[in-house]
Amino acid sequence: MGRPVNPLNQEDQPRWFLLAMASRWPLAIVLATWSAALAAIQILGQPIPIAVKRQMPFPVVLKGPIQV
């Protein structure tokens, strides 16, 4: 019979395939970080709308004397 084929044997796999398999997780992390950074730039590039009712003053309690 022939030699059993072991997919983990480095002699059976082409070099480019081994390199592609070794770099898939680092490449996935880099791409995920890049896409998250682009999304953050798009979201934070615009002002965040904050609704404040102008009819009522802010509820502020002053404690102690005020010196101006």
Q: How confident is the model over 15-27, as a mean pLDDT?
A: 89
pLDDT of residue 8: 61
pLDDT at 9 exceeding the cut of 70? no
Average pLDDT, the chain: 81
pLDDT of residue 32: 97
pLDDT at 3 exceeding the cut of 70? no
pLDDT at 50 exceeding the cut of 60? yes
Q: How confident is the model over 24-47, as a mean pLDDT?
A: 94
Q: Do residues 10 and 19 lie in contact, with contact meaning Cβ atoms separated by under 8 Å?
A: no
